[in-house]
Structure 1
Amino acid sequence: MDFRMSVPSLMAANPGLKPNQIIAGTTIVIPGIRNPATIPYHVIIHLDQKILQLYHSGRLMKTYPIAVGKILTATPSGDFVVVNREPNPGGPFGAYWLSLSKLHYGIHGTNNPLSIGKAVSKGCVRMYNQDVVELASIIPNGTRVSIRS
């Protein structure tokens, strides 16, 4: 996973841990990101249905329509977390950007609302601007995001 921070920042948050000790499966503290297990929210994205579902404590709160990656630039399946965010990122990213722990991928708004419901992106998940702003106001960094086929 990529948490978009320097090794010195990670080392400062994890005293006694050496850079060569950080391997897959190592539990570490990520500054500014809560432990995903302590967050009651969970986002599940269904690529085939082109929907994003927001859960709170295991109960479905809301379902949003989305756009996903096209065949040559498919949205990756897997389990990720929201690692950072940016309101009004500009360009094609619409009103909000929620960065995922997979480098270069995120959930964002769009300047092309007609794309929602289609497989047209370069791999990111697009939402209507009002929907992504609502989602960003609810979920904190560290929220689990499961992307399924």
Structure 2
Amino acid sequence: MPHRLLTLALPCALALAACERQPEPPPPAPAASSSAPVLTRQSIDSAGFEAAPASGSQARSAGLARAQVLLDRARFSPGVVDGLGGENTRQAILAFQEANELNATGELDQATFDRLVSGDGQPALTDHTLTAEDLAGPFVDAIPEDMEGKAELETLAYTSPQEALAERFHMDQDFLTELNPNARFVAGETITVAAVSPQELPEAVARIEIDKADKSLRAFAENGDLLAYYPASIGSAEMPSLSGEMTVRAVAPHPNYTYDPSRLTNAEGDETLIIQPGPNNPVGAVWIDLSKDTYGIHGTPEPSEIGKTFSSGCVRLTNWNARQLANSVEPGVEVVFL
């Protein structure tokens, strides 16, 4: 049976300013090809091995989309399922290859694809029938860019049912829309989504290793078995992440965020602000507090940027990976920075 977490309450205003996102300028995206095929449920579920798209390609690959879902279910998270790949998918493939004694290149090859499929013969996509709860919100029209604007909101909720559903099923929002081109997103309607891993790991986490060079987090069981691999944003040159050993102190679902400009190198203004909870909060949907004040493992409002941006010392995961980890840890779990 999955391990159940006993959550400890944290003070209302968490001092989390050390975790403000530090952007790394992305390269300009190439124009999408008008001849790129539109992926369908049938093309993905029946896909065989395909070479990964060229770096920077905007053409989705059915075979890669299937492989991403299978990696997610094997708990080697590629981050966002989008059929495009990228560094997070490459790192997940590399970790899977190493764990399965395959040729460890980080590239999706026939042997790796075959191992993924042989270990999990279930379809990559599934049906989800929309409920009134899926569509009830609360939703906000938009998330302000500046901290003062964020502080004025009563909740940092999702901006639409589509954003909420994409995150629930670990998907890029555009990919969700592409798979459901005629969807109206109304109650009772059935849509196609990725059939991803559950919200809990199969065993309790006894040890967490954070690899700063690899930009990853690994969770281990008591017997040393690898339970999960997640891509992560970890520290920056100006504010490097922690080193050495510490422990989990507490877990806080739906945390608020204290924006303290005195702790930041690229601060906006000089006023301390409280940002209310919500999945689009700067620290996302969950906070795993570490035994060094103001540092933790947490979610993000921008899952596609994991591994592509820096943090101010904390460890940032996608909201779904942070939730999965938080649901399987307790205070006292060892955390080691490598």
Do these two structures clear the TM 0.5 threshold for a shared fold by scoring above it? yes
1:98-137 equivalences under 5 Å are 98-137=288-327
Q: What's the counterpart of residue 234 of structure 2?
A: 68
- The structural deviation recorded for 1:40 is 6.2
CA gap of 1:111–1:144, structure 2 versus 1, over 3 A, is same
Q: Which runs of 4+ in 1 moved over 4 A?
A: none
Q: What's the counterpart of residue 83 of structure 1?
A: 249
Preserved CA contact (<8 Å) 1:50 1:118: no
**What value does the CA root-mean-square deviation take over the aligned residues?**
1.8
Letter matched to residue 53 of structure 1: R
Total equivalences in the alignment: 112
Greater mean deviation of Cα atoms: 67-76 or 108-117:
108-117
Q: What's the counterpart of residue 92 of structure 1?
A: 282
Aligned equivalents of 1:95, 1:105: Cα separation in 2: 16
Aligned equivalents of 1:40, 1:49: Cα separation in 2: 20
Aligned equivalents of 1:70, 1:130: Cα separation in 2: 23
Aligned equivalents of 2:296, 2:237: Cα separation in 1: 17
The structure with the larger Rg is: 2
- The structural deviation recorded for 1:55 is 0.4
CA gap of 1:120–1:143, structure 2 versus 1, over 3 A, is same
Aligned equivalents of 1:147, 1:98: Cα separation in 2: 15
Q: What's the counterpart of residue 211 of structure 2?
A: 46
CA gap of 1:132–1:59, structure 2 versus 1, over 3 A, is same
Q: Could you say what secondary structure the match of 1:73 adopts? A: coil
Unaligned runs of 5+ in 1: 5-38
Aligned equivalents of 1:97, 1:74: Cα separation in 2: 19
- The structural deviation recorded for 1:113 is 1.5
Unaligned runs of 5+ in 2: 1-9, 11-203, 256-276
Q: Deviations over 1:32-91 (max 9, x none)?
A: xxxxxxx86100000100110000021111101111111101111110101012111132
**TM-score normalised to the size of structure 2?**
0.32
CA gap of 1:40–1:106, structure 2 versus 1, over 3 A, is closer
Aligned equivalents of 1:99, 1:121: Cα separation in 2: 16
- The structural deviation recorded for 1:119 is 4.8
Preserved CA contact (<8 Å) 2:283 2:299: yes
**TM-score normalised to the size of structure 1?**
0.70
Q: Among 122, 138, 147, which residue is 2:328 paired with?
A: 138
Preserved CA contact (<8 Å) 2:205 2:329: no
Greater mean deviation of Cα atoms: 109-118 or 57-66:
109-118
Q: What's the counterpart of residue 15 of structure 1?
A: none
Letter matched to residue 208 of structure 2: V
Aligned equivalents of 2:227, 2:243: Cα separation in 1: 22
